[in-house]
Amino acid sequence: MSDVLLQSACILLEFKITMEIAFVRPVAPFNRYIQNVPLNYIHLAAHLRQRGHKATILDMVVEESTDDVDQYLRSNNVGLVGIGCMTCELPDALAEARRLKENHPGIRIVFGGAHPSADPEECLRSGVVDYVVVGEGELPLAALLDALENGRHPQGILGLWSIENGAVRGNSSAAIPNVEELPMPAYDQLDLNKYFQLDSPWHFPKSKKAVQYVSSRGCPYHCSYCHTIHGKKYRGMSAAKVVDEIERLVIAHGVEELMIVDDIFNFDLERAKDICRGIVDRGLRVHLQFPNGVRGDRFDEELVALMKRAGTHYMAVAIETTSEKYQNLIRKHLKLEKALQTIQWARKYDIEVCGFFMIGFPGETLQEIEQTLDFAVSAPLDTIFISLVSPFKGTVLRTDMMNGRFGDIDASGVAALEQLFPTVHNEAVPIETLQKLQRSAYWRFYLKPRPMLNLGRRMTNWSNVKKVSRAIRRRLAESRISSLN
């Protein structure tokens, strides 16, 4: 009898080992911003580790080949693979999932991220995806692994979609974790030295030893062009927790620069100030940049001064449009005068500022577009980035278009939305005209003395020369790759 029990225990243990999850990141040529730490995977891996599960990260961007991935999966009897993707990464994610299914019969694939959250059914009907996590992944992934390890059907897990016998089983969005209780992301599971060697796509880091970092999730604003994966409730970690994690990155991992990529770092001004004070008070020597865009009209001069003292050398301000009509239509409601004041404070404290702009909203006239571009060219900015509007799946903008908020949409408009890089069909200002206006604005801006001198000062090493050359090519020749989601 004891032999039978022992044998059963061994079988159960073997089954649990096969339920280790491996996060695989394929190379995605359309996404330059993949040349960085896989931030989503290290957040998920840390939480799963805290819950007693084993999670491995296999990153094909820095080292693993398909052969390396296959060997690891076979050697460790891995039964579940997670792949996250944005829309521009979807073809590569599906191709890797298909390859894994062919090479590892019986393996299960779970997708997550911006695109799968926006259209889980599309992913599930591909024939190579078993589950999709809609929303934040920590809680549903842990519940999925719990169920699989114990031989239970994972039905009813909030945020987990699945497909069985051709029928898609939907669910609500994932439960939202308390960010204060989440463990520090698993940077320790990565060889950061390999990421330090990557040609970072972000704005000219002061140090090669740079990684991304998130201190909050969610944004209470309702800009219709943005993703909603983190919901519309702001959840910021306490300043003490943030500074503790930054200190650990600096001291234990040798990080010298952080790209803080919160959706809205400065929503809670006092928290933002306390984070900056904490960095200064602890004597942490670290450079900071905010390349994901901060809310331009939620600043005061004290915050800008503290950001500079804490090591900030660059931030992006998302303005998008100077048209009050379109500020309302896209639900951004930015106070342009306050954003301009923030830009002027940043210049006072020697923080470089990039302005984000978007052109080609549904029904936008040539005059309204030129108004935005004239502001972009004339504002006291150091760099600008002009995107062509892309109504990605899952955005309120896309829903608004289909529901007539911007007027009727015809067959040509629907067809434009169904591309990998969706566009807005506007006969009055076609895509070709938008691209010409975009290129012209770049020339007008970067031929001004200040931006030209700024770029000239950057040409101090081959890495920066390549970065500038790549930026010129993307802005002047590849405008269809204009925004990512």
Task: Identify the domain boundary among 169, 190, 211.
Answer: 169
Alpha helix ranges (H) inside 223-265: 239-253
Same domain, 260 and 318: yes
Give me the pLDDT at residue 421, please.
Answer: 83
The residue segments making up the domain with residue 386 are 199-477
- Look up residue 365 and give its two tokens: 């006239």
Give me the pLDDT at residue 1, please.
Answer: 43
Give me the pLDDT at residue 204, please.
Answer: 85
Give me the pLDDT at residue 477, please.
Answer: 60
Give me the pLDDT at residue 15, please.
Answer: 42
Same domain, 301 and 225: yes
Cα–Cα distance, 140 to 144 (Å, whole number)? 6
Task: Identify the domain boundary among 169, 190, 215.
Answer: 169
Give me the pLDDT at residue 455, please.
Answer: 77
- Look up residue 225 and give its two tokens: 């062009």
Which residue type sits at 112? G
- Look up residue 283 and give its two tokens: 């004597």
Cα–Cα distance, 355 to 442 (Å, whole number)? 12
Answer yes or no: are the C-beta atoms of 304 and 349 closer than 8 Å.
yes
Task: Identify the domain boundary among 169, 191, 215.
Answer: 169
- Look up residue 415 and give its two tokens: 């067809």
Alpha helix ranges (H) inside 228-330: 239-253, 269-281, 301-310, 324-329
Give me the pLDDT at residue 461, please.
Answer: 72
Answer yes or no: are the C-beta atoms of 315 and 289 closer than 8 Å.
yes
Same domain, 423 and 464: yes
| 371 Cβ contact partners less than 8 Å away, ≥ 6 residues apart | 322, 323
Same domain, 89 and 211: no
| 74 Cβ contact partners less than 8 Å away, ≥ 6 residues apart | 104
Cα–Cα distance, 475 to 386 (Å, whole number)? 8
Q: Give the domain CATH number at 141.
A: 3.40.50.2300
**Domain contains 323:** yes
79: left (phi over 0), alpha (psi -120 to 50) or beta: alpha
Same domain, 353 and 239: yes
Burial of 298 (0-12, 13-18, 19+ CB in 10 A): buried
Tracing tokens 């320790």 back to the chain, one arrives at 188
**Total number of domains constituting the chain:** 2
- Give the global pTM: 0.91
Give me the pLDDT at residue 32, please.
Answer: 66
Same domain, 162 and 220: no
Cα–Cα distance, 25 to 96 (Å, whole number)? 9
Average pLDDT, the chain: 90
Same domain, 149 and 241: no
**Domain contains 463:** yes
**Domain contains 248:** yes
Same domain, 267 and 406: yes
Percentage of the chain exceeding pLDDT 90: 75
DSSP character at residue 373: H
264: left (phi over 0), alpha (psi -120 to 50) or beta: beta
**Domain contains 328:** yes
Q: Give the domain CATH number at 415.
A: 3.80.30.20
Same domain, 211 and 316: yes
**Domain contains 348:** yes
Q: Phi first, then psi: give them for residue 254, nearest 5 degrees.
A: 70, 20
Same domain, 277 and 157: no
Q: Phi first, then psi: give them for residue 69, nearest 5 degrees.
A: -60, -50
Give me the pLDDT at residue 468, please.
Answer: 72
Same domain, 145 and 281: no
Same domain, 155 and 215: no
**Domain contains 178:** no
Task: Find, among 370, 263, 275, the residue nearest to 318 by Cα.
Answer: 263
Using 70 as the pLDDT threshold, list the residues of the chain that sit under it.
Answer: 1-18, 32-33, 471-472, 474-485
